[in-house]
Amino acid sequence: MMIQLKPIWNALRESPNGPKWLTWAAINLSIAAYFGYGLVAPASSHKTAWLPGETTHGHYQIELDCNACHDPGRSTEGPSGADVMQDACIRCHGAQLDLAKDTHPANKFRDPTNAERLKILDAQNCLTCHQEHVPEQTLSMGLTMPADYCWHCHQEVADSRPSHRGMAYDSCATAGCHNYHDNRALYEKYLDDHHGQSDHLELAALPQRSTLESLSGAFRAQQSLTIDDADHPSSWTTDPGFSENSASEDSLSGDSLLDDWATTAHASAGVNCSHCHRGDKDSAGDDAPWSEQVAIERCQQCHERQVESFKTGKHGMRLAAGLSPMTPDLARLPMHAGQAHAELDCSACHSGHRFDTQFAATDACLRCHADDHSLAYGDSSHAALWRDELAGNGPLGSGVSCATCHLPRLEGDSGIWVNHDQNASLRPNETMARQVCTHCHGLEYSLSALADPQTVASCFGDPPAERIKSVQMAHEWFEQQEAKRAARRDNR
Residue 417 host element (H or E): strand 415-418
Res 75: pLDDT: 55
Give CA–CA dist 369/371, Å, rounded: 6
Strand partners, 290: 278
Q: What is the pTM of this model?
A: 0.82
pLDDT tens, position by position, 443-476: 999 999 999 999 999 999 889 999 999 999 999 9
Q: Give just the sign of the alpha carbon dihedral 130, 132, 133, 135.
A: positive
The whole-angstrom separation of Cα 259 and Cα 64 is: 43
In eight-state DSSP terms, residue 420 is -
Q: Nearest to residue 335, comparing CAs of 368, 287, 362, 358?
A: 368
> In Å, what is the CA distance from 34 to each residue of 41, 47, 49, 50?
10, 10, 9, 11
Indicate whether 242 pLDDT > 50.
Answer: no
List, in sequence order, every residue forming a beta bridge with 252; answer none if it has no partner. 238
The pLDDT value recorded for residue 21 is 84
* Cross-strand partners of 411: 416
Residue 237: pLDDT band by 50, 70, 90 thresholds?
low
Q: Which phi and psi angles does 418 have, rounded to 5°?
A: -100, 120
On average, the pLDDT of the chain sits at: 85
- Indicate the helix (H) or strand (E) that contains 390: helix 381-390
Q: How far apart are CA 194 and CA 184, in angstroms?
A: 13
Q: What is the pLDDT of residues 185-232, one digit of tens each?
A: 899 999 999 999 999 998 777 888 776 666 665 555 568 888 888 888
CB-CB contact of 177 with 468 (8 Å): yes
Question: What is the per-residue pLDDT for 250?
Answer: 40
Decide if 198 contacts 443 (C-beta within 8 A): no
Cis-peptide into 428, omega within 30 deg: yes
Domain ranges of the chain: 60-74+82-156
58 exposed, middle or buried (CB, 10 Å; 0-12, 13-18, 19+)? middle
Mean per-residue pLDDT, 76-97: 74
Max alpha carbon distance in the chain (Å)? Answer: 109
For 317-338, the pLDDT digits (tens) are 999 988 899 999 999 999 999 9
Q: Which residues pair with 278 in a beta bridge?
A: 290
Which pLDDT tens digit goes with each residue over 409-444? 988 777 888 999 999 888 788 889 999 999 999 999
Residue 162 is given by DSSP the state G
Which letter, b or e, does each residue of 24-56 get, where b requires 16 or more Cβ atoms within 10 Å of its Cβ?
A: eeeeeeeeeeeeeebeeeebeebbeeeeeeebb
Identify the band that residue 246 occupies on the pLDDT scale cut at 50, 70 and 90: very low
Which three-class secondary structure state does DSSP give residue 409? strand
**Helix (DSSP H) and strand (DSSP E) numbers for the chain:** 24, 2
Single-letter residue type at 49:
A
